[in-house]
């Protein structure tokens, strides 16, 4: 593991600088989805109950180092107070020292840290300025761990540091999925483009036993194997890359599962007229929008023999009915096995979370990460600065 967790720290009377992710969606001036706020509550409550003062550091939007009123974290206060069940004191960084001095054992929220130009530059002076406000640093924002910013990396090196409850939970789940997994391991990778997930595919073929490729990127592989894909989304210029990945998989003993049958239509629209054809028989004027039932059955059989599934990306155009069927059916198969205690299932990425919610199975997976970029970089095998700093 290599990093300390919150429970191992002596917090009594301490000021705990706590990096959280409350970069939440807002509509008409109100937080419209409190998931991220709800998930940090256990860490903040633990700090309070330990007789310490949680000082929350967070970002909101992308203000690029300049104060922007429309990106003020003040919009999150009602949802924060509701989730925590206690008042939250809001302060700017300039007034933080004074606010903290009068807020012993109370929650303090510092204004959007990305208003500070030094934050994204990992500026040493800003890091020291923040470190002077606290005694302990706690990172509970895995979703920002792939950024070497002041509040995620530099600050961790200036104070005794630990992972918060959510961060520790996330890291433990990911370690169980790829670090030291129960085998066989199946990875599901979907989405539009191979080009956006080259590092991911290259890393996975060396680590998993089966790799299911779906969505638009499957078309690139089908085309590389000589199959016509009609007017489908396809990166024909990456045919050599796709063949290289197939060769790497064969060398490492990883079975790649591509669609054996596909659902095609003549327009990218919900309820468009469609038919199921062999993956080698897409009409020249058609678009592949989903994997077919034979492919879903093959994926389900693979899941049934597996011990671990890690999932990133849908198998088809899941946002359009009925081209969500393959994603829904495969997700439900994984969920059923997970509920039965036969499978460890870990999923992450924006589209993935949306697809699993749509399939009604998000609560049945072992763990779902809401950390998009960090989750992807971890799957690619990259070192995450925010995690590395905790182990330094």
CATH number of the domain bearing residue 212: 3.40.50.1260
Residue 174 covered by a domain: no
Residue 170 covered by a domain: no
Q: Are residues 227 and 337 in the same domain?
A: yes
Q: Are residues 161 and 185 in the same domain?
A: no
Residue 387 covered by a domain: no
Q: Report the greatest alpha carbon distance in the chain.
A: 71
Element holding 71 (H helix, E strand): none
Residue 208 covered by a domain: yes
Query: What is the rounded distance in angstroms from the CA atom of residue 184 to the CA atom of residue 238?
Result: 29
Q: How many domains does the chain have?
A: 2
How much is the pTM?
A: 0.86
Query: What is the rounded distance in angstroms from the CA atom of residue 39 to the CA atom of residue 142?
Result: 12
Q: What is the pLDDT along the chain (392 residues), one digit of tens a residue?
A: 578 899 999 999 999 999 999 999 999 999 998 989 999 999 999 999 999 999 999 999 999 999 999 999 999 999 999 999 999 999 999 999 999 999 999 999 999 999 999 999 999 999 999 999 999 999 999 999 999 999 999 999 999 999 999 999 989 888 888 888 899 999 999 988 888 888 889 999 999 999 999 999 999 999 999 999 999 999 999 999 999 999 999 999 999 999 999 999 999 999 999 999 999 999 999 999 999 999 999 999 999 999 999 999 999 999 999 999 999 999 999 999 999 999 999 998 878 888 998 999 999 999 998 887 888 888 888 889 999 999 86
Residues involved in catalysis:
36, 193, 350, 373
**What is the token pair recorded at 273?**
């007229």
The number of beta carbons lying within 10 Å of the beta carbon of residue 280 is 13
Q: Are residues 196 and 318 in the same domain?
A: yes
Domain final position from 165, 196, 220? 165
CA 296 to chain CA centroid, Å, is 24
Residue 150 covered by a domain: yes
Domain final position from 119, 139, 165? 165
Q: Are residues 85 and 232 in the same domain?
A: no
Containing domain of residue 213, as a range? 181-379
Q: Are residues 138 and 186 in the same domain?
A: no
In 103-215, where does DSSP find H-type helix? Answer: 124-131, 165-174, 198-204
Q: Are residues 97 and 217 in the same domain?
A: no
Residue 26 covered by a domain: yes
Q: Are residues 157 and 280 in the same domain?
A: no
Residue 146 covered by a domain: yes
Q: Are residues 341 and 238 in the same domain?
A: yes
Q: From 21, 12, 5, 19, select the one nearest 369 (Cα to Cα).
A: 21
Domain final position from 165, 199, 221? 165
Q: Are residues 334 and 191 in the same domain?
A: yes
Q: Which residues contact 150 (CB under 8 A, 6 or more apart)?
A: 113, 116, 118, 119, 121, 122, 123, 126, 127, 130
Q: Which residues contact 19 (CB under 8 A, 6 or more apart)?
A: 57, 58, 137, 138, 139, 140, 141, 144, 151, 152, 155, 386
Contact criterion met (CB below 8 Å) for 167 and 10: no
Strand partners, 213: 189
Residue 389 covered by a domain: no
Q: Are residues 62 and 109 in the same domain?
A: yes
Q: Are residues 236 and 370 in the same domain?
A: yes
Q: Are residues 144 and 278 in the same domain?
A: no
């Amino acid at each position: 593991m290599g990093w300390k967790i919150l429970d191992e720290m002596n917090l009594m009377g301490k000021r705990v600088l706590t990096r959280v992710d409350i970069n939440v969606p807002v509509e008409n001036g109100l937080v419209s989805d409190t998931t991220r706020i709800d998930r940090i509550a256990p860490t903040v409550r633990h700090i309070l109950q330990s007789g310490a003062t949680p000082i929350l550091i967070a970002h909101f939007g992308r203000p690029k180092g300049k104060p922007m009123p429309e990106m003020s974290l003040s919009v999150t206060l009602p949802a924060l107070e509701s989730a925590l069940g206690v008042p939250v004191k809001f302060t700017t960084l300039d007034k933080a020292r004074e606010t903290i001095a009068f807020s012993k054992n109370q929650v303090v929220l510092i204004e959007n840290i990305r208003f500070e130009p030094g934050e994204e530059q990992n500026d040493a002076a800003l890091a020291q300025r923040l470190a002077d406000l606290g005694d302990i640093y706690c990172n509970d924002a895995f979703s920002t761990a792939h950024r070497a910013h002041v509040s995620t990396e530099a600050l961790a090196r200036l104070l005794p540091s630990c992972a918060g409850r959510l961060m520790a939970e996330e890291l433990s789940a990911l370690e169980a999925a790829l670090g030291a997994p129960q085998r066989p391991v199946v990875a599901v990778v979907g989405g539009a483009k191979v080009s956006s997930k080259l590092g991911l595919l290259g890393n996975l073929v060396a680590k998993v036993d089966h790799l299911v490729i779906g969505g638009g990127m499957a078309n690139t592989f089908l085309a590389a194997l000589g199959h016509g894909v009609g007017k489908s989304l396809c990166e024909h210029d990456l045919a050599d890359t796709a063949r290289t990945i197939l060769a790497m998989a064969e060398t490492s003993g990883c079975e790649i599962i591509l669609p054996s049958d596909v659902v095609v239509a003549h327009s990218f629209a919900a309820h468009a007229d469609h038919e199921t054809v062999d993956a080698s028989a897409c009409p020249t004027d058609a678009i592949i929008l989903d994997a077919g039932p034979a492919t879903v059955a093959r994926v389900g059989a693979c899941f049934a023999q597996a011990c671990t599934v890690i999932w990133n990306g849908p198998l088809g155009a899941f946002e359009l009915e009925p081209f969500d069927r393959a994603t829904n059916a495969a997700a439900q198969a994984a969920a059923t096995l997970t509920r039965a205690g036969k499978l460890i299932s870990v999923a992450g990425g924006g589209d993935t979370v949306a697809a699993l919610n749509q399939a009604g199975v998000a609560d049945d997976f072992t763990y779902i990460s809401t950390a998009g970029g960090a989750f992807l970089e971890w799957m690619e095998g990259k070192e995450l600065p925010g995690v590395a700093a905790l182990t330094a």
